[in-house]
Structure 1
Amino acid sequence: MGFLSKLFGGSKTSAKKQVEPIEYNGFLIYPEPIAEGGQFRIAGQITKEIDGEVKSHRFIRSDVLSSESDACELMVKKSKMFIDQSSGKIF
């Protein structure tokens, strides 16, 4: 079974970081930059609970930065701007 597991990628463990959300106007912003060729693409999700159901908006931007922390910071800024421009009516 170990051989088949290795053959089909089952032995790889994906260590996904736990992201602390940033609360903004009732929304939770999760910065989740994507590593690409030594740089980090701006990505993440915005969530909000509406009528007991958690709604989520995932986005990936074309912007890439050399620092993961810079990508997180810019993602949060762009998310706040998106929330403000849409008057909070994302979902």
Structure 2
Amino acid sequence: MSLFSALKSMFSGGSAPAEPVTESFPPVEYEGYTITPTPQQEGSQYRICGEIVKGDQSHTFVRADLLPSAESCRDEMVRKARQMIDQQGDAIF
């Protein structure tokens, strides 16, 4: 590793960008909406991320929450998406 590379990694934060999970989760239907969880791996944890679709409209969201497994992240994403649908309905688009 060169001196420049070492200095660059020290000041750039050294963290890799979030990567989508290679494991796919099936979409969940709820109140006429389709919820698709797409957790993003960050190190050994997973960030809540997903998409809500109704007809030709879609809303993608990413949350700050980090969870220890892709499955727990999927479950929490679906829970939050249902809550958002209940509270905002079509206003989320």
Aligned to 1:45: 51
Aligned to 1:90: 92
> SS of 1:44's equivalent?
strand
Q: 1 or 2, which has the higher helix percentage?
A: 2
> SS of 2:75's equivalent?
helix
Q: What are the ranges of 5 or more consecutive residues in structure 2 without an aligned counterpart? A: 1-20
Deviation at 1:30, TM superposition (A): 0.2
Identity of aligned residues (%): 41
Q: What are the ranges of 5 or more consecutive residues in structure 1 without an aligned counterpart? A: 1-14
TM-score normalised per structure 2:
0.72
Q: Find runs of 4+ consecutive structure 1 residues off by over 3 angstroms.
A: 15-19
Alignment: residue pair count:
73
2:38 touches 2:49 (CA, 8 Å); kept in 1?
yes
Aligned Cα root-mean-square deviation (Å): 1.6
TM-score normalised per structure 1:
0.73
